[in-house]
Structure 1
Amino acid sequence: MRNWLRHISIPLCILLLLGSCTYTRPFTDASGRAIPGSIAQMEVLQIGGVNQSVWFRGRDTAAPALILLHGGPGASEAALFRHYNAALEDYFLVVYWEQRGAGRSYHGNIARESMTIEQIEQDLDELVDLVRNRFEKERVILLGHSWGTILGTRYAHVHPEKVAAYVGIAQIADFAEGEQISLQWALAQAKAHDNQRALNALQSIAPVPLSVSQELELGRWVEHFGGSLRAGLNTGKLIWAALRTDEANLVDLWKFGAGNQFSLRALRPQYSQVNLTTIRRFQVPIVFMLGRHDWHVPAVLASAYFQAINAPCKQLIWFENSAHNPPFEEPDTFIRTMVEEVLPLVHTCSPVLE
């Protein structure tokens, strides 16, 4: 999902740009009137001194608040969650946050030195308090995907008093070890498929990626061999899925690419060294959702990490037909899991605060 622009022709880009606008549809009854207690708003909020894009959507604002922590870094997935998982809004108050430097929260004047894991965690804390105060919530649910699991794991560990549950999709464990495993898997696939072009590219990266460009090259081959997208999906299809939502247009496509590159280059020196496996004790419910075929962020490492975690309640859920993106590869199963597994857990397994 990192190089969207190469999939769109210039004439079609112009047509889409001229003919598109964004808004988010209200929740209405059969008569077309807004449902009392619902919310459907796209806002720009000052968070950490920077304008950041936050969407609030829910059929009932009294429902548990669910804050989405997208992947990347810098890869806004708000439109994708809206396209594939809008049904979540019937059960949760969903907060779609485009993080500092991502999507519509990307601005050319963002200071690169402000792009740190610690600063984005401070942004998250500010957003959590905003949601808690505005909607009168004691705690929120955090749902992290890929890079977002770094933020979610660390935040749930440090601020259990504000977190009702943490859900990690494509959970990162030890990032550096994960890249090594991912590269070895891709090399094995290249050999098995007798793909010399892939072998040449991947061998030039060995023993591990050392730059953003090498990381992206590895990601392209992992996707090629089915280690990041399954169920007939590819990057191009995800692009069109996002652009078919009311909330996204070609401006978002450009912002996605620019913000993704900016965030990756600013943050790689930090996230490439992250090892979450040293964080083992949690005071909140922990749920991992892993794609059985995920070799982009190897699920085998996340599974091992899960076994070492101590939490008041914990659950590991496998998506057998998914790789790195279960919410988009198996959307019905993902929504059902959120409603039937995570939601009851929030009500029955309270955080154990010390």
Structure 2
Amino acid sequence: MRRPGETAPFRGPRGQPVPGSIAEIRYLRLGGLDQWVMIRGESVTNPPLILLHGGPGLSETALFRHFNAALEKTFTVVYWDQRGAAKSFDRGIPRSSMTVEQFISDLDELVEAVRARVGHERVAIFGHSWGSALGVLYAGRFPEKVAAYAGSGQIGDWAAGEALSYAFVLAEAQRRDDRKALKALRAIGPPPHDARRLWTQRTWLQRVEGDLTARALWKFGRVLLGAPESSILDLPGLVRGFRFSLDAMWAEVSALNLLERAPALQMPVFFLLGRHDHWVPPETSVAYFEALTAPSKGLVWFEASKHEPFVDEPAKFNAAMVELVRPILAGIPRPPVPSGQAAHAAS
């Protein structure tokens, strides 16, 4: 039997649980599968913010908790290991269920559960990389449930982004006269790639960007295993889930073009982009931003960031979410709480 784990309650100066706070972990039945969900916030009166990790299949809960836990002061933050990812990975998951449409349906069930749990009519969504495609598609489908959307590593025309990413790492290998890299990259050729060839391209991209040095891997490992809800026992599921999800979904997701699938959204939209992102080149994100129709749009550049501004510049990222996204939800009235169902602290 899988155990969801534990998360510490919010406590006051004398160690007492903070009234109205929420800190809970459980498996929710979403789309017929048990999926891991954690909800944390200093007050359930704060608007819910659902974090959609990338991949597909790459849980970023440990990163969010390490770098962005400050958001729990002003949002009720919902962390979710998506179908097939990390603590939601199970060998029995049907490969046929790993589709974009199924993930939209899973997310809708999650949103409904969150709305019922914290008593808010609408949520904010933050999507990263693959999660930014899922978030946009969901917001376009269910605008009445989403008050604001924010994205980093924002997908636009996914295929165009992959072409630019490959061209960048190939040019870097040529500039460095790295014959081993050039041989590997020329062997797989330019996109479209299958999941195996994608692993090759991304591995060399990480190497040229310095993300596979011993120091970088040690730092990442400490963050991954140092999160309060993490355990070394989670590692097998993390790795297997990422490989399973990517292999099952890459052909479909890498063909997504949001300029065609979601040319308009009915809520305020914010793109928080790393200037040096070579996984989802910001040129493609900006092209989508400029083409997108929305009631209001905001673009924030993170000059010292690559693919993960929330990791590379967490203070600036957290401030942007609070200053830009939070005010939109603050003006949305909460529905009346039925008698006898007042919000309470959870642990």
Give TM-score scaled by structure 1 length: 0.89
Counterpart Cα distance in 1 of 2:190 and 2:36: 38
Report what 1:143 is aligned to.
126
Residue among 44, 53, 70 paired with 1:61: 44
Deviation at 1:22, TM superposition (A): 4.6
Is 1:297 the equivalent of 2:280? yes
Report what 2:306 is aligned to.
323
Is 1:132 the equivalent of 2:109? no
Contact 1:285–1:346 (Cα < 8 Å) also in 2: no
Is 1:155 the equivalent of 2:138? yes
Is 1:201 the equivalent of 2:181? no
> Which amino acid in structure 2 is aligned with residue 253 of structure 1?
L
Report what 1:40 is aligned to.
23
* 1:137-170 per-position Cα deviation (integer Å, ceiling 9, x unaligned): 1100011000001110101111110001011110
Is 1:275 the equivalent of 2:257? yes
| CA pair 349-43 structure 1, distance change in 2 beyond 3 A | closer
Report what 2:7 is aligned to.
24
* 1:288-319 per-position Cα deviation (integer Å, ceiling 9, x unaligned): 11100001111111011101111111101111
Counterpart Cα distance in 2 of 1:287 and 1:233: 33
Counterpart Cα distance in 2 of 1:116 and 1:255: 20
Deviation at 1:25, TM superposition (A): 1.0
Matched residue SS, 2:46: coil
> Which amino acid in structure 1 is aligned with residue 47 of structure 2?
P
Counterpart Cα distance in 2 of 1:349 and 1:174: 33
1:72-221 to 2 correspondences below 5 Å: 72-221=55-204
Give unmatched runs, 5+ long, in structure 2. Answer: 334-347
Deviation at 1:237, TM superposition (A): 2.1
Contact 2:159–2:192 (Cα < 8 Å) also in 1: no
* 1:111-137 per-position Cα deviation (integer Å, ceiling 9, x unaligned): 111111101110000000111122111
> Which amino acid in structure 2 is aligned with residue 100 of structure 1?
R
> Which amino acid in structure 2 is aligned with residue 164 of structure 1?
A
> Which amino acid in structure 2 is aligned with residue 277 of structure 1?
L
> Which amino acid in structure 1 is aligned with residue 127 of structure 2?
G
Counterpart Cα distance in 2 of 1:225 and 1:305: 27
Residue among 218, 223, 228 paired with 1:246: 228
Give TM-score scaled by structure 2 length: 0.91
Counterpart Cα distance in 1 of 2:43 and 2:207: 41
Counterpart Cα distance in 1 of 2:25 and 2:48: 16
Counterpart Cα distance in 1 of 2:215 and 2:258: 29
- Please tell me the root mean square deviation across aligned C-alpha atoms, in Å: 1.9
Deviation at 1:187, TM superposition (A): 0.9
Deviation at 1:191, TM superposition (A): 1.2
Contact 1:22–1:246 (Cα < 8 Å) also in 2: no
**In the comparison of the two structures, how many residue pairs are matched?**
328
* Runs of 4+ deviating beyond 3 Å: 232-236, 345-350
* 1:231-278 per-position Cα deviation (integer Å, ceiling 9, x unaligned): x98444222202011200112111110100110111112112111111
Deviation at 1:180, TM superposition (A): 0.8
1:249-260 to 2 correspondences below 5 Å: 249-260=231-242
Matched residue SS, 1:166: strand
| CA pair 236-205 structure 1, distance change in 2 beyond 3 A | farther
Counterpart Cα distance in 1 of 2:148 and 2:220: 28
Which 10-residue stretch deviates more, 331-340 or 121-130?
A: 331-340
Counterpart Cα distance in 1 of 2:24 and 2:329: 25
Contact 1:312–1:349 (Cα < 8 Å) also in 2: no
Is 1:309 the equivalent of 2:288? no
Contact 2:54–2:131 (Cα < 8 Å) also in 1: yes
Give unmatched runs, 5+ long, in structure 1. Answer: 1-20
Matched residue SS, 2:168: helix
Contact 1:61–1:93 (Cα < 8 Å) also in 2: yes
